């Protein structure tokens, strides 16, 4: 088989802070997120999708929260690590599609910068990276503004 599909999902709760990292982009906000790393839900979901596509386990297995080397980690470093794993096994990213779920902050104005950051880390065209955002109509934990969720799917192609 010369294609593989992967799916990832991640959530972080809001906590104290003045910004959030989403899709590799720093967004000023009246909260931060609780996380061991920089708490970038979009990149964590994407890492899980890429790992999942090759059945390599999940992000927690590759970057254990208890490991001090990942404390406050820039999630773009994790993403590039996943990219290297994928490339090392003879695969490349065909495309990826991400959906970020939150009421605030607004994602739309930053979506293009996220696409470019992700594409640069994965060595692909920004046209291969979709970043979309939705609210959950004030329902559930995202609707109550308690946290942010992200979904990602990706297609890997034999290099």
Residues of the binding site for a divalent metal cation: 10, 12, 44
Residue 10 or 121 with smaller CB distance to Zn ion: 10
Q: Which of residues 24-53 bind Zn ion (CB under 5 A)?
A: 44
Shorter beta-carbon distance to Zn ion: residue 31 or 44 = 44
Minimum Å gap between C-beta 40 and Zn ion is 7
Q: Which is nearer to Zn ion, 3 or 16 (CB)?
A: 16
Stretch that binds Zn ion, among 6-14, 90-98, 117-125, 127-135 (CB under 5 A): 6-14
Contact call for residue 76 and Zn ion (CB under 5 A): no
10 binds Zn ion per the rule CB under 5 A = yes
Q: Between residues 92 and 141, which has the closer beta carbon with respect to Zn ion?
A: 141
75-108-95 Cα angle (round to 5): 55
**Is there binding between residue 151 and Zn ion (CB under 5 A)?**
no
In sequence order, the 6+-apart residues with CB closer than 8 A to the CB of 156 are 3, 4, 5, 6, 50, 53, 54, 86, 91, 92, 93, 94
| Structure token pair of residue 62 | 């590759």
Q: 40: helix, coil or strand?
A: coil
Instruction: Decide if 8 contacts 152 (C-beta within 8 A).
Output: yes
Least spacing, CB of residue 152 vs Zn ion, in Å: 11
**Binding site membership: which residues?**
10-12, 36-37, 44, 58-60, 134-137, 141, 144
How many of the other CB atoms lie within 10 Å of CB of 91? 21
Residue count (the chain): 159
Q: Which residues in the chain belong to E strands, given as ranges? A: 3-15, 19-22, 25-28, 32-33, 91-101, 129-134, 147-158
Q: Which residues bind Zn ion (CB under 5 A)?
A: 10, 44
């Amino acid at each position: 088989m010369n294609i593989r599909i992967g799916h990832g999902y991640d959530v972080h709760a809001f906590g104290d802070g003045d910004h959030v990292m989403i899709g590799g982009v720093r967004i000023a906000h009246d909260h931060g997120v609780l996380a061991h790393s920089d708490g970038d839900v979009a990149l964590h979901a994407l890492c899980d999708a890429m790992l999942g596509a090759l059945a390599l386990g999940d992000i927690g297995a590759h970057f254990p929260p208890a490991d001090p080397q990942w404390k406050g980690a820039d999630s773009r470093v994790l993403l590039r690590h996943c990219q290297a794993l994928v490339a090392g096994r003879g695969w490349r990213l065909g495309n990826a599609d991400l959906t970020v779920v939150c009421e605030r902050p607004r994602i739309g104005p930053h979506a293009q910068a996220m696409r470019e950051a992700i594409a640069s880390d994965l060595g692909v065209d920004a046209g291969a990276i979709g970043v979309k955002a939705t609210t959950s109509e004030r329902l559930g934990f995202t609707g109550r503004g308690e946290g942010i969720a992200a979904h990602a799917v990706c297609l890997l192609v034999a290099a």
